[in-house]
DNA sequence: ACATTAAGCAACCTTTTGGTTGCATTTTAA
DNA sequence: TTAAAATGCAACCAAAAGGTTGCTTAATGT
Protein backbone atom coordinates (compact mmCIF):
# COMPACT_ATOMS: atom_id res chain seq x y z
CA UNK A 1 0.00 0.00 0.00
CA UNK A 2 3.06 2.20 0.38
CA UNK A 3 4.73 4.04 -2.51
CA UNK A 4 8.10 3.00 -1.15
CA UNK A 5 7.23 -0.63 -1.79
CA UNK A 6 7.14 -0.07 -5.52
CA UNK A 7 10.65 1.34 -5.52
CA UNK A 8 11.76 -1.37 -3.20
CA UNK A 9 10.49 -3.92 -5.69
CA UNK A 10 12.38 -2.21 -8.50
CA UNK A 11 15.45 -1.96 -6.33
CA UNK A 12 16.96 -5.34 -7.04
CA UNK A 13 18.98 -6.12 -10.17
CA UNK A 14 17.18 -9.39 -10.86
CA UNK A 15 13.73 -7.94 -10.45
CA UNK A 16 14.66 -4.92 -12.51
CA UNK A 17 15.96 -7.18 -15.24
CA UNK A 18 12.64 -8.98 -15.27
CA UNK A 19 10.82 -5.69 -15.67
CA UNK A 20 13.13 -4.68 -18.52
CA UNK A 21 12.47 -7.95 -20.31
CA UNK A 22 8.74 -7.62 -19.89
CA UNK A 23 8.79 -4.04 -21.11
CA UNK A 24 10.04 -4.93 -24.54
CA UNK A 25 9.59 -8.66 -24.82
CA UNK A 26 6.62 -10.74 -25.73
CA UNK A 27 4.47 -12.86 -23.53
CA UNK A 28 6.83 -14.50 -21.12
CA UNK A 29 6.09 -17.66 -19.23
CA UNK A 30 7.47 -17.81 -15.71
CA UNK A 31 10.14 -20.25 -16.86
CA UNK A 32 11.22 -18.15 -19.82
CA UNK A 33 11.35 -15.01 -17.71
CA UNK A 34 13.34 -16.84 -15.05
CA UNK A 35 16.01 -18.21 -17.35
CA UNK A 36 19.52 -16.79 -17.66
CA UNK A 37 19.26 -14.70 -14.55
CA UNK A 38 22.06 -16.48 -12.79
CA UNK A 39 19.86 -17.94 -10.09
CA UNK A 40 17.64 -20.99 -9.83
CA UNK A 41 14.09 -21.08 -11.10
CA UNK A 42 12.81 -21.21 -7.53
CA UNK A 43 14.92 -18.23 -6.60
CA UNK A 44 13.64 -16.30 -9.58
CA UNK A 45 10.09 -17.24 -8.68
CA UNK A 46 10.47 -15.66 -5.28
CA UNK A 47 11.70 -12.46 -6.86
CA UNK A 48 8.84 -12.52 -9.33
CA UNK A 49 6.42 -12.82 -6.45
CA UNK A 50 7.75 -9.55 -5.06
CA UNK A 51 6.82 -7.85 -8.33
CA UNK A 52 3.39 -9.45 -8.21
CA UNK A 53 2.83 -8.35 -4.63
CA UNK A 54 3.18 -4.69 -5.55
CA UNK A 55 1.19 -5.09 -8.76
CA UNK A 56 4.06 -4.35 -11.09
CA UNK A 57 3.32 -7.63 -12.76
CA UNK A 58 0.34 -9.89 -13.24
CA UNK A 59 0.16 -13.66 -13.67
CA UNK A 60 -2.32 -15.57 -15.77
CA UNK A 61 -2.37 -19.30 -15.77
CA UNK A 62 -2.85 -21.11 -19.09
CA UNK A 63 -2.82 -24.83 -18.85
CA UNK A 64 0.43 -25.96 -17.38
CA UNK A 65 2.14 -22.68 -17.93
CA UNK A 66 1.69 -19.25 -16.44
CA UNK A 67 2.07 -16.08 -18.47
CA UNK A 68 3.61 -12.98 -16.96
CA UNK A 69 2.78 -9.49 -18.04
CA UNK A 70 3.66 -6.02 -16.95
CA UNK A 71 1.18 -3.75 -15.22
CA UNK A 72 2.29 -0.50 -16.72
CA UNK A 73 -0.17 1.46 -14.59
CA UNK A 74 1.85 0.74 -11.47
CA UNK A 75 5.04 1.64 -13.25
CA UNK A 76 3.41 4.92 -14.14
CA UNK A 77 2.51 5.65 -10.54
CA UNK A 78 6.15 5.33 -9.61
CA UNK A 79 7.24 7.56 -12.46
CA UNK A 80 4.63 10.23 -11.73
CA UNK A 81 5.59 10.35 -8.12
CA UNK A 82 9.21 11.10 -8.86
CA UNK A 83 8.16 13.65 -11.43
CA UNK A 84 6.09 15.38 -8.78
CA UNK A 85 9.03 15.56 -6.42
CA UNK A 86 11.08 17.10 -9.17
CA UNK A 87 8.40 19.72 -9.85
CA UNK A 88 8.28 20.64 -6.17
CA UNK A 89 12.00 21.04 -6.19
CA UNK A 90 11.93 23.24 -9.27
CA UNK A 91 9.24 25.50 -7.93
CA UNK A 92 11.11 25.88 -4.69
CA UNK A 93 14.23 26.92 -6.56
CA UNK A 94 12.18 29.36 -8.58
CA UNK A 95 10.77 30.91 -5.42
CA UNK A 96 14.25 31.39 -4.02
CA UNK A 97 15.38 32.96 -7.27
CA UNK A 98 12.45 35.40 -7.30
CA UNK A 99 13.20 36.38 -3.76
CA UNK A 100 16.81 37.11 -4.64
CA UNK A 101 15.92 39.11 -7.74
CA UNK A 102 13.11 41.21 -6.31
CA UNK A 103 14.26 42.10 -2.80
CA UNK A 104 11.41 43.62 -0.80
CA UNK A 105 13.51 46.59 0.31
CA UNK A 106 14.07 47.89 3.87
CA UNK B 1 26.76 2.15 -10.09
CA UNK B 2 23.59 0.21 -10.77
CA UNK B 3 20.22 1.77 -11.59
CA UNK B 4 18.57 -0.61 -9.21
CA UNK B 5 20.46 0.96 -6.33
CA UNK B 6 18.64 4.25 -6.81
CA UNK B 7 15.26 2.55 -6.52
CA UNK B 8 16.52 0.52 -3.62
CA UNK B 9 17.47 3.73 -1.86
CA UNK B 10 14.01 5.16 -2.50
CA UNK B 11 12.42 1.93 -1.38
CA UNK B 12 12.24 2.58 2.32
CA UNK B 13 9.55 4.70 3.97
CA UNK B 14 12.00 6.66 6.11
CA UNK B 15 14.37 7.42 3.26
CA UNK B 16 11.48 8.34 1.00
CA UNK B 17 10.13 10.67 3.65
CA UNK B 18 13.51 12.37 3.78
CA UNK B 19 13.45 12.85 0.03
CA UNK B 20 9.93 14.29 0.21
CA UNK B 21 10.98 16.75 2.87
CA UNK B 22 14.00 17.83 0.90
CA UNK B 23 11.97 18.25 -2.28
CA UNK B 24 9.79 20.98 -0.86
CA UNK B 25 11.53 22.10 2.29
CA UNK B 26 14.34 24.51 2.85
CA UNK B 27 17.89 23.84 3.75
CA UNK B 28 17.75 21.01 6.23
CA UNK B 29 20.47 20.20 8.69
CA UNK B 30 21.00 16.52 9.38
CA UNK B 31 19.36 16.91 12.77
CA UNK B 32 16.31 18.73 11.43
CA UNK B 33 15.90 16.21 8.65
CA UNK B 34 16.24 13.37 11.14
CA UNK B 35 13.64 14.59 13.59
CA UNK B 36 10.13 13.19 13.90
CA UNK B 37 10.87 10.11 11.86
CA UNK B 38 10.16 7.73 14.69
CA UNK B 39 13.71 6.49 14.96
CA UNK B 40 16.83 7.74 16.67
CA UNK B 41 19.13 10.31 15.18
CA UNK B 42 21.80 7.69 14.66
CA UNK B 43 19.33 5.43 12.94
CA UNK B 44 18.23 8.24 10.68
CA UNK B 45 21.85 9.06 9.94
CA UNK B 46 22.42 5.58 8.63
CA UNK B 47 19.44 5.88 6.34
CA UNK B 48 20.63 9.26 5.16
CA UNK B 49 23.97 7.71 4.31
CA UNK B 50 22.21 5.32 1.95
CA UNK B 51 20.79 8.30 0.06
CA UNK B 52 24.23 9.90 -0.04
CA UNK B 53 25.83 6.72 -1.32
CA UNK B 54 23.66 6.72 -4.44
CA UNK B 55 23.97 10.48 -4.91
CA UNK B 56 20.35 11.25 -4.27
CA UNK B 57 21.51 13.65 -1.62
CA UNK B 58 24.60 15.73 -0.92
CA UNK B 59 26.07 16.88 2.37
CA UNK B 60 27.91 20.11 3.02
CA UNK B 61 29.44 20.82 6.34
CA UNK B 62 29.10 24.31 7.77
CA UNK B 63 30.70 24.78 11.15
CA UNK B 64 29.19 22.36 13.57
CA UNK B 65 26.25 21.57 11.39
CA UNK B 66 25.88 19.78 8.10
CA UNK B 67 23.41 20.86 5.47
CA UNK B 68 21.58 18.30 3.37
CA UNK B 69 20.36 18.95 -0.12
CA UNK B 70 18.72 16.98 -2.85
CA UNK B 71 20.57 16.00 -6.00
CA UNK B 72 17.69 16.30 -8.41
CA UNK B 73 19.81 15.02 -11.28
CA UNK B 74 19.90 11.55 -9.80
CA UNK B 75 16.18 11.68 -9.15
CA UNK B 76 15.75 12.52 -12.79
CA UNK B 77 17.78 9.54 -13.92
CA UNK B 78 15.41 7.29 -12.00
CA UNK B 79 12.38 8.97 -13.48
CA UNK B 80 13.68 8.90 -17.04
CA UNK B 81 14.48 5.26 -16.79
CA UNK B 82 10.95 4.31 -15.82
CA UNK B 83 9.62 6.57 -18.54
CA UNK B 84 11.77 4.72 -21.06
CA UNK B 85 10.39 1.37 -19.95
CA UNK B 86 6.89 2.74 -20.39
CA UNK B 87 7.68 3.93 -23.90
CA UNK B 88 9.04 0.52 -24.83
CA UNK B 89 5.88 -1.05 -23.53
CA UNK B 90 3.68 1.34 -25.47
CA UNK B 91 5.50 0.80 -28.75
CA UNK B 92 5.31 -2.93 -28.28
CA UNK B 93 1.55 -2.71 -27.79
CA UNK B 94 1.31 -0.53 -30.86
CA UNK B 95 3.21 -3.07 -32.92
CA UNK B 96 0.86 -5.82 -31.84
CA UNK B 97 -2.11 -3.65 -32.68
CA UNK B 98 -0.77 -2.88 -36.15
CA UNK B 99 -0.19 -6.52 -36.76
CA UNK B 100 -3.76 -7.35 -35.81
CA UNK B 101 -5.23 -4.57 -37.93
CA UNK B 102 -3.17 -5.05 -41.07
CA UNK B 103 -2.83 -8.80 -41.50
CA UNK B 104 -0.20 -9.59 -44.14
CA UNK B 105 -2.28 -12.29 -45.71
CA UNK B 106 0.18 -14.71 -47.43
C1' DA C 1 1.60 -45.11 -21.16
C1' DC C 2 5.37 -42.62 -20.05
C1' DA C 3 8.77 -39.05 -20.01
C1' DT C 4 9.10 -34.27 -19.92
C1' DT C 5 7.88 -29.73 -18.98
C1' DA C 6 5.99 -26.04 -16.04
C1' DA C 7 5.27 -25.01 -11.89
C1' DG C 8 4.42 -24.93 -6.56
C1' DC C 9 5.90 -25.39 -1.79
C1' DA C 10 8.72 -25.74 2.34
C1' DA C 11 12.88 -25.94 5.02
C1' DC C 12 17.02 -24.17 5.48
C1' DC C 13 21.14 -21.01 5.37
C1' DT C 14 23.88 -16.69 5.00
C1' DT C 15 24.14 -11.87 4.36
C1' DT C 16 22.02 -7.48 4.52
C1' DT C 17 19.14 -4.23 6.59
C1' DG C 18 17.13 -1.36 10.00
C1' DG C 19 17.54 -0.10 14.19
C1' DT C 20 19.50 0.45 18.95
C1' DT C 21 22.77 2.02 22.88
C1' DG C 22 26.81 4.17 24.37
C1' DC C 23 30.52 7.16 23.98
C1' DA C 24 33.72 10.67 21.75
C1' DT C 25 34.53 15.05 19.28
C1' DT C 26 33.94 19.66 17.72
C1' DT C 27 31.64 23.99 17.44
C1' DT C 28 28.95 27.56 19.35
C1' DA C 29 26.19 30.16 22.80
C1' DA C 30 25.75 32.21 27.51
C1' DT D 1 34.84 28.68 30.47
C1' DT D 2 31.46 25.68 30.76
C1' DA D 3 27.18 23.76 28.94
C1' DA D 4 24.62 22.53 25.16
C1' DA D 5 24.15 21.37 20.40
C1' DA D 6 25.37 18.89 16.13
C1' DT D 7 27.57 15.31 14.77
C1' DG D 8 30.45 10.94 14.18
C1' DC D 9 31.57 6.18 15.06
C1' DA D 10 31.40 1.35 16.61
C1' DA D 11 29.36 -2.70 18.57
C1' DC D 12 25.59 -5.10 18.80
C1' DC D 13 20.94 -7.33 17.70
C1' DA D 14 16.65 -9.01 15.51
C1' DA D 15 14.31 -9.47 11.42
C1' DA D 16 14.10 -9.51 6.51
C1' DA D 17 16.03 -10.63 2.09
C1' DG D 18 18.13 -13.44 -1.31
C1' DG D 19 19.15 -17.63 -2.44
C1' DT D 20 19.60 -22.83 -2.28
C1' DT D 21 18.13 -27.93 -2.28
C1' DG D 22 14.72 -31.32 -2.43
C1' DC D 23 10.34 -32.96 -3.24
C1' DT D 24 5.48 -32.86 -5.22
C1' DT D 25 1.86 -32.16 -8.60
C1' DA D 26 -0.43 -31.24 -12.89
C1' DA D 27 -0.42 -30.80 -18.00
C1' DT D 28 1.31 -32.08 -22.33
C1' DG D 29 3.95 -34.17 -26.21
C1' DT D 30 5.27 -38.67 -28.27
Contacts of B83 in chain A (CB under 8 A): 79
pLDDT single digits (tens) A58-93: 999 999 999 999 999 999 999 999 999 999 999 887
Rounded to the nearest angstrom, the gap between the alpha carbon of residue A21 and the centroid of all alpha carbons in its chain is 13
Of these ranges, A101-105, B12-16, B102-106, the one predicted with the greatest mean pLDDT is B12-16
pLDDT at position B105 is 44
Q: Which residue has the higher pLDDT, B65 or A104?
A: B65
Who's near B52: CB < 8 A, 6+ residues apart? B58, B59
**B39 nearest nt, CA–C1':** C19
Number of domains in chain B: 1
Could you tell me if residue B89 is inside a domain? yes
Could you tell me if residue B46 is inside a domain? yes
Q: How long is the CA A17 to C1' D22 vector, in angstroms?
A: 27
- Using the 8-state DSSP alphabet, how is residue A22 labeled? H
Could you tell me if residue A106 is inside a domain? no
Confidence of residue A95 (pLDDT cuts 50, 70, 90): confident
Are A20 and B85 a contacting pair at CB < 8 A? yes
First to last CA, chain B: 49
Who's near B80: CB < 8 A, 6+ residues apart? none
Segment B85-92 shows an average pLDDT of 92
Could you tell me if residue B30 is inside a domain? yes
Residue B1 has pLDDT above 70, yes or no: no
Instruction: Quote the minimal CA–CA distance from A39 to chain B in Å.
Output: 17
Residue B54 has pLDDT above 60, yes or no: yes
**Residue-number span of the structural domain to which B63 is assigned:** 3-101
Is the CA virtual torsion A91, A93, A96, A97 positive or negative? negative
* CA distances (Å), origin A7, targets A64, B12, B97: 31, 8, 30
C-alpha B17/C-alpha A85 separation (Å) is 11
Q: Which residue has the higher pLDDT, A93 or B60?
A: B60
Rounded to the nearest angstrom, the gap between the alpha carbon of residue B50 and the centroid of all alpha carbons in its chain is 11
Strand C nucleotides, any atom under 7 Å from protein beta carbons: they are: 5-10, 17-22, 26-28
Confidence of residue A94 (pLDDT cuts 50, 70, 90): confident
Could you tell me if residue B106 is inside a domain? no
pLDDT at position B97 is 65
Percent of chain B clearing pLDDT 90 (strictly above):
77
C-alpha B101/C-alpha B69 separation (Å) is 51
Could you tell me if residue B95 is inside a domain? yes
Could you tell me if residue A48 is inside a domain? yes
Task: Check which CATH number belongs to the domain holding A80 and give it.
Answer: 1.10.10.10
Are B89 and A26 a contacting pair at CB < 8 A? no
Residue-averaged pLDDT of chain A:
91
Who's near A99: CB < 8 A, 6+ residues apart? none
Could you tell me if residue B32 is inside a domain? yes
pLDDT at position A106 is 42
Q: How long is the CA B45 to C1' C19 vector, in angstroms?
A: 11
Number of Cβ within a 10 Å radius of residue B95 = 11
* CA distances (Å), origin A54, targets A59, A67, B54, B72: 12, 17, 23, 26
Amino acid sequence: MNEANIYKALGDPIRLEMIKRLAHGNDYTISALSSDLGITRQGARKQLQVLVSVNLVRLKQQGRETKVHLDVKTLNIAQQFIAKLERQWESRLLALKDFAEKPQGH
